[in-house]
């Protein structure tokens, strides 16, 4: 090769490798900055080891096949033809295969660190860990070997043809036409002698059939995930026909492999032909017999033959989704609530969510953005101790969105150096409304103002909308927050980020982000820090890509700082006999086993990420903990101020509700006939039907002593509108994670959401008012229909909002509709609606009960007592309690 060609090749190689090396270096710097460099090193080294080993194995087999085929083709002849091109092709293919195999690091590490499931499949009695960890690894190795020998065989045949072929030239006499008479034609043909290839072809085919035999043997275990027949998993035909047929086919394949090996010496091509023919005939016969048995034997008597497998499917599915120990209870509905019962459950009433998150988000945007570059991405629901009262609240983070800057302000400096972070949160109680129909804020404004809690670090550098990198500690002023007509500037003081202390680091990230400015900007110095992967979903996925993440993280105020809490799941699609589900919003999409084993916290200022294991009994998280021992912490290590805000995740609850709506039918015959399928009911929103959403609520479950934070969803029978039951999941310790299903009597009518919607539509007063509002140029929004269990009764609540039709509307809560039994009331406030139905007074704060009528003297004494308590709280600096006492005084005086 000429020196110029060598230099050119080296330049190309360096140009190709340098960005990759810089990328690895940049990733190492980032993982080091978040404290998880050991995770990165484990994944990188495992990937490199797998890729390198795969390349070596493939290239060795391919090159040996090419070399041997050349020897066979030439015999004793010599040739100037080189095998170099074939070796180069083998090298390129090996490189591609190595890259593909390197991405299977998780499969390999799971196999090496597998944990037992403590349960076995009912057919082969194999521990479920075999299907989740071992079977994927075996399949990976077999597929790799199959591809290796198959491609090597193709290369060896090509090499054989190349080295053994010769050009044969023949002159043929031919009749041309009447004028010219006879003529001649020169014909060239490619001549290849195939006889010498028989030993190599036989050996390679023998190896391929050995692997085919192993592959077919493993295929019987894959039948645990068969979707043929009445059940997911192996059914009657699979057990009695397909599995025996696969065993026979596997043995036949192995026998054919032996024949091929013997043919290395015998060298008869008919062995190859007959062996392949026999294999095809047996495979076709097996398929035909299985289909015939399914159609002619199973289908006419399906239930009786499939019953044992239906039972397996029901048991495995409930176990895979954590529903095997769900508590069932009968909820006998009566409508005997009294005013006393209502006051006994005042804590439930005062936490009824009047604010639908959709119109509330619009209201936040109109009242609390202040600048165009801020955005409220989502409204979260949580609970806090507000002045000694357990209170459900709604809150949203005020995040930065530089895409909303004016076009002329969309500069690199502004987007990456100036507008670097969001600021603060907005919070309001779920039940309180101002006279104007607007939320009453527990926290608002910039800087944050609150009488109930402190927020010392309101900056949000990491969030749901932080999709770009920023650079802090530069010579350019960094916007902290707007104040009137001017801006307040500050510098980032957190320990997060990557120091851009030298040219190599700046070059690394300039290449990574394709940004010349990052390399040449004079605003960046050795003290500057790069903050990247600031989107919290991207951040946690980069650290632990093997976990699934709930698509709805939520913001939490804890010890004066802002944190994001994110639920992480372990999932697999390899749990025997378990029905799979497909979920939008999750990376894997489809799975048939799920656990919420990890709670993740992200500091919104520093970006610190912590993974806390809350379900150590999960074999998957046990395996991941072995793979990455430094990644996970025990849940007991989570700060108490954060642990009090964990909640049962909405994503898991939705999956479980979907599964249980069918799999509550544990009787195989009822299940087979789908006699009692439940569905999540519809409700009305913006004038159209939509599926009801799960919702959080603070309430006292039947038989419990105190209120707690739960998530719930009702069920209706399929094709009907009446309620059949409701599911609840508990979020408070020590009962966190417990799921309960309450079933209504099937002999009595319990109104469902759409039946309540119909009653509302038929009420003349409500209908007239909605028509009047609509005619005046306003839109009427009907919020979520909430079903509130109280004692043994059900209370239905639906808020009505009013908004103008033009853009930039400000939805206002105008009315609250309450339905109880045969009573329906629409009033200005929840309190008035409840009072209209039950004839009670909900003026007492918290859960206190009104006793006898209060005299003027008793009122004055109570006011004096509350005032003294307020002053004492103020002296101690307890502003939350101070405000609560003042609010109680206001409620007594009517102000």
The DSSP element (H or E) to which 790 belongs, if any, is strand 786-790
> Interhelix angle for 37-74 vs 198-222, to 10°?
140
Give alpha helix (H) positions in 165-293. 198-222, 236-237, 243-266, 269-293
Find where tokens 């109280």 sit.
Answer: 790
Neighbours of 754 (CB within 10 A): 19
* Backbone conformation region of residue 826, classed left if phi is above 0, alpha if psi is from -120 to 50, else beta: beta
Mean pLDDT of 137-162: 93
Q: How far apart are CA 712 and CA 49, in angstroms?
A: 48
Residue 493 CB burial class (10 angstroms; 0-12, 13-18, ≥19)? exposed
- Quick one: tokens of 61? 């087999």
SS3 342: helix
Give alpha helix (H) positions in 776-855. 830-838
pLDDT tens digits along 761-804: 999 888 888 888 877 778 888 888 999 999 889 999 999 998 88
pLDDT at 290: 86
Mean pLDDT of 82-103: 92
73-82, 583-592, 642-651, 818-827: least confidently modelled range = 73-82
93-107, 147-161, 467-481: least confidently modelled range = 147-161
DSSP annotation of 692: P
280 vs 681, which has greater pLDDT? 681
The pLDDT-based confidence of 274 (bands split at 50, 70, 90) is confident
Residue-averaged pLDDT of the chain: 88
pLDDT tens digits along 741-750: 999 988 888 9
- Quick one: tokens of 705? 């002593």
Mean pLDDT of 660-670: 96
The pLDDT-based confidence of 894 (bands split at 50, 70, 90) is low
pLDDT at 847: 35
Q: How far apart are CA 236 and CA 668, in angstroms?
A: 15
SS3 415: helix
Q: Dihedral angle at the C-alpha atoms of 617, 620, 626, 630, nearest 10 degrees?
A: -90
Mean pLDDT of 571-583: 95
pLDDT at 160: 83
DSSP annotation of 127: B
The CB-side HSE value for 697 (13 A sphere, CA atoms) comes to 26
pLDDT at 612 over 60: yes
The pLDDT-based confidence of 685 (bands split at 50, 70, 90) is confident
pLDDT at 851: 36
SS3 741: strand
The pLDDT-based confidence of 846 (bands split at 50, 70, 90) is very low
């Amino acid at each position: 090769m000429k020196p110029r060609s060598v230099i050119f090749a080296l330049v190309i190689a360096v140009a190709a490798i340098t960005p990759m090396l810089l990328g690895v270096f940049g990733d190492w710097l980032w993982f080091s900055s978040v404290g998880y460099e050991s995770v990165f090193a484990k994944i990188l080294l495992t990937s490199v080891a797998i890729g390198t080993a795969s390349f070596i194995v493939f290239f060795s087999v391919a090159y040996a096949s090419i070399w041997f085929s050349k020897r066979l083709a030439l015999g004793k002849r010599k040739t100037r033809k080189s095998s170099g091109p074939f070796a180069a092709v083998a090298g390129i293919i090996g490189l591609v295969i190595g890259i593909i195999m390197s991405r299977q690091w998780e499969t390999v590490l799971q196999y090496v660190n597998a944990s037992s499931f403590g349960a076995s499949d009912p057919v082969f009695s194999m521990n479920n860990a075999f299907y989740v960890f071992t079977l994927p690894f075996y399949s990976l190795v077999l597929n790799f070997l199959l591809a290796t020998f198959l491609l090597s065989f193709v290369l060896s045949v090509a090499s054989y043809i190349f080295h053994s072929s010769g050009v044969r030239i023949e002159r043929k006499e031919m009749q041309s036409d009447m004028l010219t008479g006879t003529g001649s034609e020169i014909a060239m043909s490619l001549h290849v002698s195939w006889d010498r290839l028989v030993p190599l072809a036989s050996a390679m085919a023998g190896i391929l059939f050995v692997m085919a035999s192993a592959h077919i043997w493993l295929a019987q275990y894959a039948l645990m995930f068969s979707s043929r027949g009445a059940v997911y998993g192996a059914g009657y035909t699979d057990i009695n026909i397909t599995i025996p047929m696969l065993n026979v086919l596997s043995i036949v394949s192995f026998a054919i492999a032996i024949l091929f090996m013997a043919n290395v010496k015998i060298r008869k091509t008919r062995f190859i032909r007959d062996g392949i023919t026999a294999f095809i005939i047996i495979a076709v016969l097996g398929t035909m017999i299985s289909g015939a048995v399914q159609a002619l034997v199973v289908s006419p008597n399906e239930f009786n033959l499939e019953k044992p497998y239906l039972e397996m499917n029901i048991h495995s599915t409930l176990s895979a989704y954590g529903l095997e120990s769900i508590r069932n209870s009968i909820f006998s509905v009566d409508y005997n609530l009294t005013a006393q019962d209502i006051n006994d459950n005042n804590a439930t009433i005062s936490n009824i969510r009047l604010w639908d998150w959709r119109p509330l988000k619009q209201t936040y945007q109109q009242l609390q953005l202040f600048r165009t570059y801020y955005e409220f991405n989502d409204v979260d629901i949580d609970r806090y101790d507000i002045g000694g009262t357990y209170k459900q609240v709604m809150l949203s983070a005020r995040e930065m969105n530089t895409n909303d800057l004016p076009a002329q302000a969309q500069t690199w400096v502004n987007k990456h150096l100036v507008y670097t972070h969001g600021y603060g949160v907005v919070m309001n109680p779920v039940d309180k409304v101002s006279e104007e129909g607007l939320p009453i804020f527990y926290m608002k404004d910039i800087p944050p103002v609150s009488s109930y809690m402190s927020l010392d670090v309101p900056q949000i550098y990491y969030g749901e909308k932080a999709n770009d990198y920023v650079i802090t500690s530069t010579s350019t002023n960094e916007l902290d927050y707007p104040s009137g007509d001017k801006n307040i500037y500050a510098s980032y003081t957190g320990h997060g980020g990557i120091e851009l202390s030298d040219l190599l680091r700046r070059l690394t990230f300039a290449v990574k982000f394709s940004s010349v400015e990052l390399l040449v900007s004079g605003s960046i110095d050795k003290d500057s820090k790069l903050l990247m992967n600031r989107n919290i979903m991207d951040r946690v996925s980069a650290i632990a890509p093997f976990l699934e993440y709930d698509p709805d993280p939520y913001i939490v105020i804890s010890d004066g700082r802002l944190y994001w809490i994110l639920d992480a799941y372990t999932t697999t699609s390899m749990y025997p006999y378990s029905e799979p589900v497909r979920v939008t919003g999750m990376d894997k999409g489809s799975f048939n086993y799920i656990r919420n084993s990890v709670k993740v916290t992200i500091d919104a200022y520093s970006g610190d990420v912590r993974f806390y294991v809350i379900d150590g009994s999960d074999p998957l998280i046990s395996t991941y903990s072995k793979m990455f021992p430094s990644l996970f912490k025990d849940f007991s290590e989570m700060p108490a101020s954060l642990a009090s805000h964990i909640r049962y995740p909405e994503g898991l609850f939705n999956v479980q509700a979907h599964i249980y709506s069918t799999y509550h039918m544990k009787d195989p015959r009822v299940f087979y006939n789908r006699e009692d399928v439940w569905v999540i009911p519809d409700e009305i929103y913006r004038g159209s039907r939509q599926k009801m959403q799960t919702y959080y609520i603070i309430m006292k479950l039947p038989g419990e002593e105190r209120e707690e934070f739960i998530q719930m969803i009702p069920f209706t029978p399929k094709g009907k509108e009446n309620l059949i039951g409701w599911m609840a999941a508990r979020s408070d310790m020590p009962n966190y994670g417990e799921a309960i299903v309450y079933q209504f009597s099937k002999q009595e009518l319990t109104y469902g959401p759409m039946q309540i919607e119909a009653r509302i539509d038929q009420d003349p007063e409500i209908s007239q008012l909605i028509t009047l509002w609509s005619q005046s140029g306003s839109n009427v929004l009907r919020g979520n229909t909430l079903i509130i269990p109280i004692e043994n009764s059900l209370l239905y609540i639906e808020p009505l909002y009013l908004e103008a039709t033009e853009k930039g509307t400000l939805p206002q809560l105008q009315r609250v509709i309450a339905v109880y039994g045969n009573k329906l009331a629409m009033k200005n406030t929840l309190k008035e609606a409840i009072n209209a139905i039950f004839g009670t007074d909900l003026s007492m704060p918290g859960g206190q009960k009104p006793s006898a009528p209060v005299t003027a003297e008793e009122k004055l004494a109570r006011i004096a007592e509350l005032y003294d308590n307020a002053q004492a709280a103020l002296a101690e600096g307890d502003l939350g309690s101070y405000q609560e006492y003042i609010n109680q005084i206001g409620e007594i005086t009517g102000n």
